[in-house]
Structures are given as C-alpha cells and as structure tokens.
Structure 1
Amino acid sequence: MENLNEKKWVDGLKASENSEIIDVRTPEEFNEGYIEGAKLINIQDTSRFMDQIEQLPKDKDYYVYCRSGRRSEMACQIMEKAGIKNAYNLEGGIIDWHGEVKK
C-alpha cells in the first residue's frame, strides 16, 4: 500500500497495463461525481466490501480514492491484508483532485 500525490497516482495509473480505479465512497457520493473509469466499492457497506475485495484479481494494480483520502487509505490496507500487493491511495481524495470529474 502506498499513499501517492495526484501526479504520482495518475502517472502510475497511466504506466500500468493492468490497473483498475476503485472509488470507495458511498453511492450517493459517487453519483455527485467520480473519476472516469472508476468502479464503486462502498467501504461503508462492510460485509459487501469484503466480498467484493476478495473477488478482485490479486495481480492487478489498484488506484483507490475516496472523498479526502482517509477511507481509501483504510481500503488499501484491507486490500493488502486480502493479498493485493499493489494498492495505491490518492492523497487528498477527490476533494484535491484537479482532473476531470464525471457526473
């Protein structure tokens, strides 16, 4: 698990040929705007979150974000414990995101 600033997060995402963006916010937050290509896995829905994390391929690179970076940091730690080696947290979350936000 690594905390990355926006530039390193985006650069890593672009450089990876086997990556996925994970948004761990609530469905309501997701519907307000999300980073293009993001898959929603709500960390606040604990049992469902764990089920979905355990089904993810372990060999992918996961770029994870939330609103401010706290929930996504926790999600990355959980992902690591589930056997995912490459989970990258977006420091500052979508609040500090300067890229495009889809609605």
Structure 2
Amino acid sequence: MIKTMTVSELQKRVQESTKPFLLDVREPHELDICKLAFDEHIPLGDLPDDYEKLPKDAEIVVYCRSGARSLRACEFLEDHGYGNLTNLSGGVLAWANDIDPTMQKY
C-alpha cells in the first residue's frame, strides 16, 4: 500500500535517526532549479532500468515537483516488489510553499 506524507512530516522525519530513504524522480534539469536532499535521483523514465539499486528493506519516500510523477513511481515500485513506499504530497512545490519560501518554484 502506498502511503502519503506531508512536507511538514518529512521535515520532522529527516531529523530522526531512522530517516527514510529519499528518491527524487524529477528530470536532471529540474535539479538545477531547486532540490531537496536526496539519497538517490532516478528520473521517472529511467526507473524501469535503474530501480534495482534501491533498497528493498527501507522506507522509501518518493518525490517530484508536485506529487504526480512520484505517485506513478510508487506504483511501479510496488508492482516490482517494494512494499514500504510513501509519496510526498505536493512535492517540491509544497516544500517551497510550506517549509522554505526562498526555494525557487517552477
């Protein structure tokens, strides 16, 4: 089952010792505009070729610009045996709006 997490929840979780594994599925040019800290960057289109490098035993929080691509990535990963998946609701746009207003929006 795919869970959702708000950016406020993520902000708290990344401070914990058991922080989740963060997967950014945006395109490379989007990282030049703004980015969050992440453990792995795999654009959504590359996920079918590269998903096996992700840890199966970790909680994975997937994010993109708004939450749509990350939901598709979560669905793909769930179909390929990953179980502890969370979609970041609102993506980096929500992070910019609610957590870091200095972050550039696009």
User: TM range, normalised to the smaller chain?
Assistant: 0.7 to 0.9
Task: Note the 1:32-71 alignment, pairs <5 A.
Answer: 32-43=33-44, 45=45, 48-71=46-69
State the TM-score, normalized to the length of structure 2.
0.78
Residue 80 of structure 1 deviates from its aligned partner by: 1.1
Secondary structure in structure 1 of the residue aligned to 2:26: coil
1:62 and 1:31 map into 2 onto residues whose CA distance is 23
Q: What SS class does the counterpart of residue 58 from structure 1 fall into?
A: coil
Structure 1 segment 1-103 matched on structure 2, within 5 A: 1-15=2-16, 17=18, 19-43=20-44, 45=45, 48-97=46-95, 98-99=99-100
- Provide the aligned C-alpha RMSD in A: 2.0
Q: Name the larger-Rg structure.
A: 2
- Do the aligned partners of 2:47 and 2:73 also contact (CA within 8 Å) in 1? no
How far the C-alpha of 1:13 sits from its partner, in A, is 4.2
Structure 1: runs of 5 or more not aligned: none
Identity rate, percent = 32
| Compared CA separation, residues 60 and 16, structure 1 to 2 (3 A) | farther
